[in-house]
Amino acid sequence: MIYFSTNKSSIPVSIKKATLEGLAPDGGLYIPSEIPHFSDEELLLLEGATFNNIAFAIAKKFIGGEMPLDLLNDMIEGCYPFETPIVELNKQTFVEELFCGPTLAFKDYGARFLARLTGFFAAEEEKLITVLVATSGDTGSAVAYGFQGIPNTRVVLLYPSGKVSRLQEQQLTTAGGNVHALEVKGDFDDCQRMVKQAFIDHDLNEQLTLTSANSINISRLIPQSFYYAWASLQIKEKYGYNDPLFSVPSGNYGNLTAGVMAKRMGFPIGRFIAASNANNSVTRYLDDGRYEPRPTVTTRSTAMDVGNPSNFARLKYFYGNDFTSMGKDITGTAVSDEETLTTIRLVYDQFGYIMDPHTAVAYRALERHRTDSHSNNAGIVLSTAHPAKFLEVLQDALDKEIEIPSRLLNVLEKKKIATVINPDYSELASFLNGL
C-alpha cells in the first residue's frame, strides 16, 4: 500500500518512508491510498479472536510487504501484553479501559507500536532517527517509555509548562537515556507549531533525520484503530449489540480519526461522538461548516486542550471537506469544566466507578446525545487515562482518596530533568543542532 499527503503535492511513499518522515514534505499528513476493507467472511473469522489476533489482522493489511509477517506478529505480541477491559456500567453503557499499559494511558497503544516499527525501519536504513514530539500530557510519557532503549532512535519531547499534571510531567521528564524533555513556556499549540516548523526546516533536515511520534505519524494512528475493532466485536459477541456508538475524548482528533478508519474497514461501528471541552473548534465546524480555530483555553481536561487539532486535516480529507457528510458519522459535543466535575461525582455515586476528567467528558457527551436524539443506543465510552494521573481534578470532584498504582508512585520519586525554552523556534533548532 502507498501513502500520500493530505496536501496532495508530495510524492506518494511506502509505509517505511511515511513512518520515518512523520510529516510529508509539503506539510500535509500521510494517509493510506485506500482504507483496506474486511469482508463479512473475514469478520466472521475474527469472532472470538484475541485482541492481538485482531491487531495483527489489521496491521498486515497496512504494513504487509514491508515487514516479514512473523516479525510483525512478534512485534504486536510484544506491544500488547496487557488487557483491554470493557466494563459494563449498565445494559446500554460500557467503558473501554485503555489505560492498562505501562504509562496508564491510551497513548501506549500507538506509541509502543510506532517505537518498534521505527526501530525496525531505522535499522534497515542504518540511520539514527530523531523523534520529535509535541505533547499535552499522555503522548509524551507513552512515547518516552515506548522508545526508551530502542536502538537507532532518540526522542525530544516538547510539553507546555504548567499545563500537564504532575504525574504526567514526572513520567515524561524522568525516562532518561535516549529521551530528552523540553519544557516550553507556552501552550500545546506553541509546541505543535514548533514541531511542524522543524519538519519543514531544510537546513535542520540536512543535519538530522526527523520523524514524529504524534498522531500526525500514520504509524501512530493505525494501531489506535485496533481497540475500536476489538470493542465493536466484543460488544456484538457478548451482548448482541450491532453498531454501537463510540464517545471519544477529543483533543488533537487522532483518536477519533482512528475510529473512523476502523469503521471504514468494515467493523460493526455506528456513530461517533466527538467529545470536546472549551477547545471546541471541530464541534463548531460540525454545527455550521466553518472551521475557525481559536487560541487554546486551559481546562480541567488538560490533554484535550488543543485549539487547532492536526488530525482535522485527515478528517476533512476522508469526508471530502464536507461537514454535512462528516456529520452523518460524527456528532460534536462540548462539555464544560463544571459538567466534567459533576459527571465524575454522578458516575461514582451511581456506579461506584471513578473516571478521569477526559473519560467524564466523553460520558457526559454520550448522555447528552442520548437526550437530544431521544435514543438509548448501546454506547462505548473510551477511557483514555487512569484517574490517578489527574489527582488534582479528582480531589476537587470527589471527597475520596484515590489509590495511586505503584508504577506512578515510583515515578514521583525520580528527579525531573527538563530543559526550559521559550516558544521560539530558534531555541528548538538550537537544541536539536546541539544534540
pLDDT of residue 375: 85
Sheet of 419-421: strands edge to edge?
209-212, 129-134, 153-160, 179-184, 419-421
| Cβ proximity of 264 and 329 under 8 Å | no
Residue 299 lies in a domain: yes
DSSP lists the bridge partners of residue 245 as 379
Which residues are within 8 A (CB) of 41 and not within 5 positions of it... i.e. 6 or more apart?
Answer: none
| Residue at 353: amino acid letter | Y
Taking alpha carbons only, the member of 278, 274, 301 closest to residue 389 is 301
Q: What is the pLDDT of residues 335-379, one digit of tens each?
A: 999 999 999 999 999 999 999 999 999 999 999 999 999 888 999
pTM: 0.91
Q: What CATH number corresponds to the domain at position 265?
A: 3.40.50.1100
Which residues are within 8 A (CB) of 44 and not within 5 positions of it... i.e. 6 or more apart?
Answer: none
Q: Pairing state of beta strands 419-421 and 179-184?
A: parallel
| Cβ proximity of 121 and 143 under 8 Å | no
- Alpha-carbon distance of 381 to 170, in angstroms, equals 27
Residue 365 lies in a domain: yes
Cell of 20: 520515518
Q: What is the pLDDT of residues 190-249, one digit of tens each?
A: 998 999 899 889 999 999 999 888 888 999 999 999 999 999 999 999 999 999 999 999
Residue 393 lies in a domain: yes
Q: What mean pLDDT, rounded, does the chain reach?
A: 94
Taking alpha carbons only, the member of 116, 46, 47, 44 closest to residue 80 is 116
Would you say residue 78 has pLDDT above 90? yes
Q: Which domain holds residue 258?
A: 70-105+221-397
Among residues 16, 107, 263, 389, which one is catalytic?
A: 107
Q: What is the pLDDT of residues 140-182, one digit of tens each?
A: 889 999 999 999 999 999 999 999 888 889 988 999 999 999 9
| Cβ proximity of 261 and 288 under 8 Å | no
Taking alpha carbons only, the member of 419, 412, 420, 367 closest to residue 388 is 412
pLDDT of residue 83: 97
Would you say residue 92 has pLDDT above 80? yes
Taking alpha carbons only, the member of 341, 333, 356, 318 closest to residue 275 is 333
In percent, the amount of the chain with pLDDT more than 90 equals 85
| Three-state SS at 283 | helix
| Cβ proximity of 416 and 169 under 8 Å | yes
- Alpha-carbon distance of 347 to 355, in angstroms, equals 8
Would you say residue 138 has pLDDT above 80? no
User: What would you measure as the largest C-alpha separation in the chain, in angstroms?
Assistant: 59
**Is 414 one of the annotated active-site residues of the chain?**
no
Residue 261 lies in a domain: yes
Mean pLDDT of 134-140: 82
Higher confidence at residue 46 or residue 139? 46
Number of domains in the chain: 1
Residue 164 lies in a domain: no
Helices 107-125 and 138-147: crossing angle in degrees, nearest 10, is 40
Rounded to 5 degrees, what are φ and ψ at 246?
-120, 125
Residue 284 lies in a domain: yes
pLDDT of residue 216: 87
Residue 110 lies in a domain: no
pLDDT of residue 339: 98
Residue 28 lies in a domain: no
